[in-house]
Structures are given as C-alpha cells and as structure tokens.
Amino acid sequence: MLQFEFLTIDNGKPELSSGKTGSVYKLDQERRSLSIPLPQDAWYVRGLEDAQRFGNSNWSPHWPLSAQLALGYGRASAEQCVPSGKRECPAFPEIDGVLAMDPGAVRKVMPGLGPFGQGRFFVTRKTVVNLLLNRAYQVFPIPSVRRGFLRDVVEHLFEKMFNPDSPSDFVQGVGRSLAEKNMQIWMADPEEQAYVEHMGWDGSISNERRGDYWQVVEQNVGGNKLDFTAQQTVEMNVEIQGRAAVHSSKITVSNDVPLPQPRWFLGDSKGVHRPMQNIYVPQRAELISANAGRLCPPLGEQDCNGRIDAPPTLATWTNGVPPEHFEKGRKVWSGTLQIPPRETGSLRIDHRTPQAVFRRDGRNVYRLIVQRQPRVNPQHLLIQLNLPPDSSDIKARGFKKDGQTLTLDRQLRSDTILEVSWRS
C-alpha cells in the first residue's frame, strides 16, 4: 500500500482529515515488523516477516482479513512510534471501515474526475496507471522524491473524488471498480458489513460450498516491477467423472520485460520474475500431481539469481509436492516460479474435487466459481469441460459446445459463476 487517508463522514458530508495522513512510511517506521495477534487464516502474514507491518499486510485476497490486519498493524505502529525532530507520530483514531483502491480503480473513475496537471505531467484516464506504477519511478529514481510526487498525485485524486467534474460518470466508475474488485470495502459494523457483502463489494473469498471453486492469486516476491509487463494465462481441463470433477490445470506466466531496463525496474532479482502462485480450491479437493517449470529453489542456492525478499518456506516444495495452506474454508497450494527475461514459466496442478456435481430438478449440475485477482494485465482464462459420453440436453451458457466437450475462452475481468447442466 502506498498512501492512506482518514475520511470522516458526518451527516452524509465527506471530509478528508487534513495533515493527518500521507505515505504508509509515516507508520511503517524503518519498515519494522511488529507482533500483533493473528487469526488462523493469516498464513501469508504469519510466514512473511516483511508482511508484518501496516503497508505490507494486504497479502490475502480476502479483503475483510487484510483490512483488519492493516488496522491492527496501524494501531501497533502508532502506539510504538517515538517522535523526533524529523518525525511526527500520526494519531490513529477509531476506524469504522477501510476502503481500498488500486490504480485500476483510479483509471475507471477518471472520466468523472476529469484530467488535471501535476508538475510536468498531465494526468488522464489513459496515463494514470502508467504514471503511478511505472513512469514516476523512471522520472524520480530517488525514493523520497518519488514518494512526495506520488503523494501529491494521490491527494489530488482524493480531493477531486469529493468534487468530481461529472458525478454520474464518477459513480459509474465506482460501480465498475467494485464489480471488478479494483475497489474493496470492509466495515466494522456487522450490519453495514452484511450489506457490503450482499452487494459483493467486500472482495472476499466466496463462502459458497456447493459445486467447485478456483482462484489463482499471484504475489510478486522478486523485489521488482516486472508484474507491470507480465502476462498470466490459466488453462483448465475439467473432466466430469460421476459426481467428481478431475482437473488438469496449467498457470503460465510470461516475463515480457523489454531490455535494457534500469535497476529500479529489474529489482533485486536482476530481471528474473518471481511470481508466487497460490491456487485456491475447495477444502475437500485432493491433489493428484504437480510440476513446475523454473521453480525457484530455497534461499541460498546459487542458481536462484539473487536474493528473494520473502522467505521461501511458504512456497517451497517437498519431494515434488507443493505446500498446503488453508484460508476461509479453501485449500491453497503454492509455488514460486523463476522466469528469466523474455521467457515463460508454468505451474501445473492436477486435482480432484469430490461432490462437485449435484442434482437439481432431475438434472446434473456442475457449478464452478472462478474468482478474480485484480491485475495490471487481466488474466486470460481457457476452460475445456468434458461431460460424460451419455450426456444429453446440455445447457451451458457462455460455453461453445462440440458434443460433450464445452469450451470457454475469455479474459477474466470479474468474479464468474459458470454453471452447466445436463441429463443422463
């Protein structure tokens, strides 16, 4: 996370708290890790020392968890802060909710805000993502100068959100951001949070247990900016066997960085992309086999091409088997790929989901929930679903049908529920 702001809403009137906000480094003094009580599902943060602080606590795709961890670390940072001549300790008030926005959300709301100038730059819908994630690092290589510039851009954006040029366009952009999870909300009040969940605005891991489930969450653990150019494709071959679904899935990541690039872009890994892939499946799912191309070895081995910022234990395989984690009723298999510039790495997971098919109104039904992780470059999803040979009267909205073989090929821009039914 880059910037935080305290927002007060009094009788419907929103107001930013001037002078009390700014860079996360106001709280993350010296990027020091802190100890706070952690819930059982916080496996990322528990296993990653650098995630045990305010600005790096949002590793989980389950925003209600990440939001509450951020608040916990924010309070702990404020309590342990020691003021000095160069440093003030910001007060950390009681918080009723946390709203997260990424640069994709800013791009979606820009038509309502209108373009504006910031220093030598003109910020528009087309330029804002590149400016925040790439261009600012090129122009301002000194971290303190860059952070100051980005702070000014973000503060200007927040100010314009409460006085947009076109309120209707702004509201439509907010709606798209919430639908595509570029904006996510958590509220402390249970009734308010229940409404947020009902509207699908909380960015949570789905708690639907009927049918099948899939989500790929990627974390760049290479200390670089290579995910700005990287592309990810998920290919899933699903075969229905009785009431079970047998998956053969491959996640492919390309390191499309154009060379040469400065050190700030290539990072600690010297241009080698290290995406940690975390595959979320139903808790009852059974691993059949797994293999990876360019799987990153444990820290310290020479062929890993440099230092990896995150401890590798969360994604280190043992005897060809990925580690297994659990979060919000889902099972998670992890692996970190090592991909040199202009090359491609892949992670393959074969697994079986029992009781993936259920009966409804005399028909067999297979439902697959596919959840999306917001990314700079949208994930490409290719699914081939093979039904039993005796299937008839097939209903498969969104799929192309060829006998008992169904195909879906699209960019994954929002959480999707795929449902196929047939008679046998």
CA distances from 100 to 105, 168, 294, 422 (A): 9, 21, 33, 41
DSSP for 80-136?
A: H----SS---------SEEEEE-HHHHHHHHHHH--EEETTEEE-TTTHHHIIIIIH
Q: Which amino acid belongs to residue 182? A: N
Q: What is the pLDDT of residue 296?
A: 55
Q: Are residues 385 and 240 in the same domain?
A: yes
Q: What is the pLDDT of residue 266?
A: 87
Q: Are residues 157 and 283 in the same domain?
A: no
Q: 0.75 exceeded by the pTM?
A: yes
Preceding peptide of 311 cis, ω within 30°: no
Q: Does residue 186 sit within a domain?
A: no
Q: Are residues 218 and 175 in the same domain?
A: no
Q: Are residues 218 and 311 in the same domain?
A: yes
User: CB-hemisphere CA count at 13 Å for 80?
Assistant: 18
**Both tokens of residue 167?**
């309120």
Overall domain count for the chain: 2
Spell out the per-residue pLDDT of the chain, length 424, in tens.
Answer: 888 888 888 998 888 876 556 778 878 877 889 999 999 999 999 999 889 999 999 999 999 999 999 999 999 988 887 777 666 776 788 899 999 999 999 999 999 999 988 888 899 999 999 999 988 888 888 888 888 888 888 888 888 998 899 999 999 999 999 999 999 999 999 999 999 999 999 999 999 999 999 999 999 988 888 999 999 999 999 999 999 999 999 999 999 998 888 888 888 778 889 999 999 999 999 999 998 875 555 544 444 433 333 445 788 888 888 999 999 999 999 998 888 898 898 999 999 999 999 999 999 999 999 999 999 999 999 999 999 999 999 999 999 999 999 999 999 999 999 999 999 9
In this structure, what are the phi and psi dihedrals at residue 12, rounded to the nearest 5 degrees? 85, -5
Q: Does residue 235 sit within a domain?
A: yes
Q: What is the pLDDT of residue 305?
A: 36
Q: Are residues 126 and 224 in the same domain?
A: no
Q: Which helix (H) or strand (E) holds 178?
A: helix 167-179
Q: Which of 135, 155, 179 is the last residue of a domain?
A: 179
Q: Are residues 240 and 121 in the same domain?
A: no
Q: Are residues 126 and 275 in the same domain?
A: no
Q: Does residue 206 sit within a domain?
A: no
Q: What is the pLDDT of residue 150?
A: 87
CB atoms within 10 A of CB 261: 17
Contact (CB, 8 A) for 246 and 238 = yes
Q: Does residue 194 sit within a domain?
A: no
Contact (CB, 8 A) for 422 and 363 = yes
Q: Which of 131, 157, 179 is the last residue of a domain?
A: 179
Q: What is the pLDDT of residue 20?
A: 58
DSSP for 381-419?
A: EEEEEE--TT-EEEEETT-EEETTEEEEEEEE-S-EEEE
Q: Are residues 316 and 365 in the same domain?
A: yes
Q: Are residues 121 and 244 in the same domain?
A: no
Q: Are residues 34 and 119 in the same domain?
A: yes
Q: What is the pLDDT of residue 308?
A: 33
Which residues make Cβ contacts (< 8 Å) with residue 40, sequence separation at least 6? none
User: For position 277, which CATH number holds?
Assistant: 2.60.40
Q: Does residue 115 sit within a domain?
A: yes
CA distances from 23 to 3, 26, 106, 153, 370 (A): 5, 6, 18, 12, 34
Q: Does residue 199 sit within a domain?
A: no
CA–CA–CA angle 8, 11, 15 (5° rounding)? 30
Q: What is the pLDDT of residue 265?
A: 85
Q: Are residues 225 and 173 in the same domain?
A: no
Which range marks the domain in which residue 130 is found?
3-179
Q: Please return the burial class of 19, using the count of CB atoms within 10 Å of its CB with bins 0-12, 13-18 and 19+.
A: exposed
Q: Does residue 126 sit within a domain?
A: yes
Q: Are residues 158 and 276 in the same domain?
A: no
Q: Does residue 192 sit within a domain?
A: no
